[in-house]
Structure 1
Amino acid sequence: MCGIVGLHIHISLEKWRYNTVCPGGLDCFCSGWLCPTGARSSCRTARRPQIVSLDLTTSSYSPNNITMKKGIPVEVRTNSSADAGCVSGLMIPDFDINKALDVGQDSFTFVPDKAGTFEFTCEMRMSSSTLTVI
């Protein structure tokens, strides 16, 4: 069913719903039990992003350890006060990320493309935390 041009299917059961991109680049909604095997294999699944909420204090990030899944986009939402100091910047060198974050609420998105345990730090590398990609 995914390969049919212009066909959009929406399944309200959240655990069964996948947002997919069909051959030819059309978006459609597809579920494992609705899409024929051939259509499923020709669609690439683009799941909703993982959401990470990160509080910035004067000397640390909270939570201190974050776990996420490889290959699924991650939206990092930050919350900081005016006195967040050097932790108002965030670097994840293994993913080529170096962000200056706005006071208050800010966000950025990236795709963790490799599994493992990685360090993320402030721009001065004085405060650090751990990111685990499974």
Structure 2
Amino acid sequence: MNHFPLSRRRGRILAALALLAAALPAAGRAADATRGADLFDNYCGECHTTRPGGSSRSAPNLFGLMGRRTGTVEGFAYSDANRGAGWIWSPETLDTYLAAPKTAMPGTVMKFQGVKDAAERADIIAFLATLHA
């Protein structure tokens, strides 16, 4: 039985996820969260925000994404596919989703076609892993 308070466990889980994301194999190099922030802006920034407590645009705010269940940002109108997927966002689920969202989650309304380059996906995921309190 784990006796750590939930918030402390969550912090440790998020830290572990950030380390895992940074270690994802991507073209034989460690992921780069700084480069990932730039890639995020280019690929995702038009629709998603990343500020703590920030509002959603045409897509939900992604602050605190790692470890969160799909379709749960309060006040955002998700597709049935996203709400019903029941995934927990992790480096692995994000890698699959970001490669081809409509293939990974049939029925999603996300218009983005995906990031084909594995190294770019790893960098974006490393950036997203930094977005936690």
Q: TM tier, shorter chain? A: under 0.3
Larger relative helix fraction: 2
- The two structures have a TM-score, normalised by structure 1, of 0.26
TM-score between both structures, scaled by the size of structure 2: 0.26
Larger radius of gyration: 1
